[in-house]
Chain A
Amino acid sequence: MTKQNQEAQLLLAKNLVQALEGNDEVAADKILDEMAGMRESILFQEVGRLTRQLHDSMNSFSLDAKMTALTANDIPDAKERLHYVITMTEQAANSTLGVVEDLLPISNVLNEQASELSSKWDRFLAKDMPFEEFKMMSSDITAYFSQTKNDLNSVQTGLTDILLAQSFQDITGQIIKKVITLVEDLEQGMVSLVSLSGGNVQSNSAVITDIELPGPVVPGVDDKSNDVAKKQDDVDDLLSSLGF
């Protein structure tokens, strides 16, 4: 009990004695009521304080610990993971493109040589080829076989490299799944925090942030409303409706 309360009670008690000695029943009753009310209000204050304390400690134990861990470790981790996804996909795309750029000219040369030899061979079959030219063609064919063998080895190696480059999909898929789980946890934590602090949680957020450049349409997320083109045909239809 505070000193102030003690003094107030002492004063009330003195007044009560005075009133009783003076046979003033009305005043005595009033003072008794006041004393009882004082007691009640102190009790309620104390109960209120304890409740608030309990509430705060519960929050800080369960939620704050979780949210702190999320913001201190998991979010920076997630950023890293996503950067890693960018790096991995870029590497895969670059190595695949590199192989394609190397192999396309090889395949072009083989193609040209084959059609050249094929037309010569047709002439030979039609008995429309002098012996000297036939000898040259024979050595050309021998050279072509050996070159084809070498080039097809390069093609084989390249195709294997392309195949291996696709392995990023497995790893990045797993990383992204982890990040999705984290985002779900974070969302849960935020919802709990908001409901504990007394606000109403609405399933559909009333605040629509205006994103200037929404970027790629993620199926099932961004294509729910009818204001996006899901495929090239939608774009073509829209443009032709505009007179394009």
Chain B
Amino acid sequence: MKILVVDDFSTMRRIVKNLLRDLGFTNTFEADDGKTALPMLQSGDFDFLVTDWNMPGMTGIDLLKAVRADPKLAKLPVLMVTAEAKREQIILAAQTGVNGYVIKPFTAITLKEKIDKVFERIDG
């Protein structure tokens, strides 16, 4: 499974990548905002997108909108991992079509649960 991890903080990308590796996902790539992520997604047969919300350039919610608007990417599972915790933001993300929402700081168990749930729903 090919996964793209998008976050403007390199430390957070490392943490997520290491946790994913622990869960058996070794084919991971990184981008530091939506602007860099979108062309990678469009040309790179990714199976899963993990993205932060607040990033310079292009935010995670705009990236999610762009993904859902692109016929080739519309079905890509997207997990949002973010410190944004306002109710209206979570609702907006859900309405935009996010598949899972994890707030920072998170635990390895939470991340695993949400990833499992995303794929359970897709496979089921």
Using CB atoms and an 8 Å cutoff, list the residues of chain A in contact with chain B.
90, 93-94, 97, 100-101, 213-217, 227-232, 234-235, 238-239, 242, 244
Given contacts A97-B15, A232-B102, A232-B110, contact A213 B91 (CB under 8 A): no
Complex contact B11–A231 (CB within 8 A): no
Does B31 make an interface contact (CB < 8 A)?
no
Separation of A180 and B18 alpha carbons in the complex (Å): 34
Contacting residues, chain B, for A215 (C-beta < 8 A): 54, 83-84
> What's the nearest-Cβ distance from chain B to residue A53, in Å?
50
Chain B 101-114, CB within 8 Å of chain A: the 1/0 string? 11110100010000
Question: A242 with B18: in contact, given A213-B53, A227-B87, A235-B101 (CB under 8 Å)?
Answer: no
The answer for the CA separation of A181 and B18 in the assembled complex, in Å, is 38
Indicate if the CB atoms of A214 and B84 lie closer than 8 Å.
Answer: yes
Given contacts A90-B11, A215-B54, contact A227 B94 (CB under 8 A): no
Q: How many A-B residue pairs have CB under 8 A?
A: 61
The 5 closest A-B pairs by CB, nearest first: A93-B11, A216-B83, A229-B85, A213-B54, A227-B87
B38 at the A interface (CB under 8 A): no
Knowing A94-B11, A100-B18, A238-B91, the reply to whether A231 touches B103 (Cβ < 8 A) is yes
Closest residue to B12 on the A side, CB-wise?
Answer: A93
The reply to whether the CB of B76 lies closer than 8 angstroms to some CB of chain A is no
B66 interface residue (CB < 8 Å to A): no
Interface residues of B in 81-102 (CB under 8 A from A): 83-88, 90-91, 94, 101-102
- B83: which A residues are within 8 A, CB to CB? 215-217
The answer to whether B85 and A97 have CB atoms under 8 Å apart is no
Q: Please, which residue of chain A has its CB at the minimum distance from the CB of B109?
A: A232
Contact A228 B18 (CB under 8 A): no
Q: Which residue of B lies closest to A213 (CB)?
A: B54
Known: A232-B102, A232-B103. 11 other contacts (CB 8 A): A93-B15, A94-B14, A97-B15, A101-B18, A213-B59, A214-B85, A217-B85, A227-B86, A228-B87, A229-B86, A239-B94
How distant is the Cα of A215 from the Cα of B101 in the complex, in angstroms?
Answer: 15
Residues in A neighbouring B85, C-beta threshold 8 A: 214, 216-217, 228-230, 234-235
B101 touches A97 (CB 8 A): no
- With A and B bound together, what is the CA distance between A211 and B104 in angstroms? 19
User: Which residues of the other chain, A, contact B90 by a CB distance below 8 angstroms?
Assistant: 229, 235, 238-239
Cross-chain contact B11 with A229 (CB below 8 angstroms): no
Contact, CB under 8 Å: B84 / A213: yes
Bound CA–CA A242/B106 (angstroms): 22
Q: How far is the CB of A225 from chain B (nearest CB, A)?
A: 10
Q: How far is the CA of A202 from the CA of B102 in the complex (A)?
A: 37
Shortest C-beta distance, B21 to chain A (Å), equals 8
Which residues of the other chain, A, contact B15 by a CB distance below 8 angstroms? Answer: 93, 97
Bound CA span A48–B27, Å: 79
A54 to chain B, nearest CB (A): 49
Residue interface bits B51-75, CB-to-A below 8 A is 1, else 0: 0011000010000000000000000
